Amino acid sequence: MAGGGDRRQVADRFTAEDLVAVQTLSVTVLAPVALDLLEGPLGTQLSELLRGIPSDTDLSDADVSVVADGSPAYRAWCLLEDQYKIGWVIAGKLLAPKRPRLLPVYDRVVRCALGHPPSFWTDLRTALREDDAALHHRLLGLRQSAGLPETVSALRVADVAVWMAHPAPGHRCP
C-alpha cells in the first residue's frame, strides 16, 4: 500500500497507510493505540527502535543479534504487544511490513503449521541459513517461478506458502 511500509521516507515510522494495510489482514488497531502510534510517545519510541533495525538485510544474512531477545526488533515487538488489544499477532503484522526482508509474519496460521518454537525469529533464521541457505534460495526460486517482483521478500513467499499449505478453516491446531 502506498509503495510499502519499508519505503525510505517511512521505514522508521508508522503511518496511516500502515494501519490500513494491517486491516487488510483481518486485524484492527483500536483508535487510541493508532493515534499514539501515529502522533504520540508510542510512535516516537517505535521510531527510535526501528532506526536500530536494519532495513536492507535478509533474515538469512542477519547476525543473530539483530533478532535475538533484547534487540531493537524484539523490543519493538514487545512494546507493540503490550499495547491494549494488540497482542503478539498484531504486533508482528505491524512490524513485518516495516522490515519485510528481516521480520517474518508469525500469526495463528503460521504457529499452527510450524509449531511454537522458543524463538520463532531466531529459529527461522537458522533454518534459512542451513545447507548454504538452501531454504532461502528455494523461496527466491518460488518467487521467480510465480513471476513476482524482487520487492516481494523470501519471507513473504514463505508466509504465502505456509498459508496455502495450511489445512482448511476449522482445522484444530495441536
pLDDT in tens, 106-138: 888 888 888 888 899 999 999 999 999 999 999
Helix 120-145, helix 154-165: angle, nearest 10: 90
Please give the single-letter amino acid code of residue 139: L
Residues ≥6 apart with Cβ < 8 Å to 8: none
pLDDT of 49 > 90? The answer is yes
* Contact present, 102 and 58 (Cβ < 8 Å): yes
167 vs 2: CA distance, rounded Å: 32
Predicted structure pTM score: 0.90
158 vs 144: CA distance, rounded Å: 13
